[in-house]
Amino acid sequence: MARPIIAIVGRPNVGKSTIFNRVIGDRMAIVEDKPGITRDRIYGTAEWNGTPFSIIDTGGIEIDEEDFILKSIRVQAELAIEESDVIIFMVDAKAGLTPADQEVAEILFRSRKPVVVAVNKVDNIQRQEDIYEFYSLGFGTPMGISGSHGLGIGDLLDTAVELLPEKEDDDYGEDVIRVALIGRPNVGKSSLVNAILGEERVIVSDVAGTTRDAIDTPFEKDGQKYVLIDTAGIRKRGKVYETTEKYSVMRSMKAIERADVVLVLINGEEGIIEQDKHIAGYAHEAGKASVFVINKWDAVEKDEKTMQNFTQKIRDHFLYMTYAPIVFLSALTKHRLQKLLPVVNHVSEQHALRIQTHVLNDVILDAVAINPPPSDKGKRLKISYATQVSVKPPTFIFFVNEPELMHFSYERYLENKIRAAFDFEGTPVRLLTRRKSESE
């Protein structure tokens, strides 16, 4: 199920990124900072008053056009309109109402999407009067906020979240594996969808997805039901959309949210580029089972070490996803295509795997006996016990004497021991540390 989306729109230097970072700040503090995960994001996830949502900072969308700021603002506003359920329209109290603000307002007004006007830089009571001229934008009562001081952000989120639509269920059922195909343009997503469905010849139906643009295709193979969530079918006219690299990341995020298994497609002819890392990083952080699919393998000149060398490149570039299996194939010739769905089935099972507490603790006890936690300033970490608290992805809580003594390297050691004992191929594993209470 996809989270609803809030977009922050406005001309440059009104403080969009400051608000964006404040909203996702708490989440970012608990996400693992593993090597190779890119941080220059424009798309984050957050929760407010029990409502989870995604948020877009359109200021991070770079437009490769020679035209000036107004054109860039216009394109960003259009992207936000398409992608979002609610729009936060940011303006600047100090600068007052500008022609660029009015330009954005006209675009947003035509969209008929819910819009909340946030007047930034209202840093004190005297500035409160500066919000009144923004009534003329026609979106109701403007809300005075201060991104730098954190004032009014809660009220702003209260209003924005209240305007979000009700959650939609996809009605596919728990026994269906939802598979998202993601990757930059021209890696062969459409070709792979056609190859999978052409070979199976058991398409149930073609229905529009619940996320407005992704195409959902249910099918069945060997008694297992699947839904392919395909962003490849989405096409936009004009150079702007083709040259806005991060735009395709935004599109991929919506497919990732709804998936159980994510196929990260990479063009075998071209090799790995930076955008591949962006897209794969989002799948990892969303906690989805993942498979690297190296497409167009038929077009690659090969010797006996080509596949081994490419595998090593994947591992070097995606250090945080060593758990993800790699499938080499050609959607065009269907060579090695038969290997894909068995891998999808396997990583889906691992993603939903639950380990009994006593079995888990036997493994942890052995791991600690072999390699005791190092001491820090005379203190040593003591692990009382561990338990699995959720699946998709498998998540474990370790109850310890002092959570701050759990060093990243020792946490990685424990994760490796868990993987060695229980596999978990294809899925991230989350390890959380909590202080053991006196009563436990």
Helix or strand run (H / E) with residue 348: helix 340-351
Structure tokens at 383: 């692990």
DSSP string, 93-120: TTT-S-HHHHHHHHHHHHHT--EEEEEE
* Residue 209 assigned ligand-binding role: no
* Residue 251 assigned ligand-binding role: no
* Residue 57 assigned ligand-binding role: yes
* Residue 230 assigned ligand-binding role: yes
* Residue 238 assigned ligand-binding role: no
* Residue 184 assigned ligand-binding role: yes
* Residue 120 assigned ligand-binding role: yes
In Å, the largest CA–CA distance within the chain is 73
How far lies 382's CA from each of 75, 355, 411, 434, in Å? 54, 22, 13, 12
* Residue 58 assigned ligand-binding role: yes
Show Cβ contacts of residue 150 under 8 Å, excluding neighbours closer than 6 positions: 22
* Residue 10 assigned ligand-binding role: yes
* DSSP conformation class of 45: E
How far lies 24's CA from each of 30, 53, 338, in Å? 11, 10, 41
- The backbone torsions φ and ψ at residue 9, rounded to the nearest 5 degrees and listed phi first, read -125, 150
* Residue 17 assigned ligand-binding role: yes
* Residue 186 assigned ligand-binding role: yes
* Residue 205 assigned ligand-binding role: no
* Residue 297 assigned ligand-binding role: yes
Q: Are 316 and 292 in contact (CB under 8 A)?
A: no
* Residue 22 assigned ligand-binding role: no
* Residue 13 assigned ligand-binding role: yes
* Residue 50 assigned ligand-binding role: no
* Residue 232 assigned ligand-binding role: yes
* Residue 271 assigned ligand-binding role: no
Q: Which amino acid is at 7?
A: A
Query: Whose structure tokens read 């090593």?
Result: 312
* Residue 190 assigned ligand-binding role: yes
Helix or strand run (H / E) with residue 293: strand 289-295
* Residue 183 assigned ligand-binding role: yes
* Residue 276 assigned ligand-binding role: no
* Residue 189 assigned ligand-binding role: yes
- With H, G, I as helix, E, B as strand and everything else as coil, classify residue 36: coil
* Residue 185 assigned ligand-binding role: yes
Q: Where are the beta strands (DSSP E) in 17-150?
A: 43-48, 51-57, 86-92, 115-120, 143-144
Q: Which residues are annotated as a binding site for GTP?
A: 10-17, 57-61, 120-123, 183-190, 230-234, 295-298
Q: Which residues are annotated as a binding site?
A: 10-17, 57-61, 120-123, 183-190, 230-234, 295-298
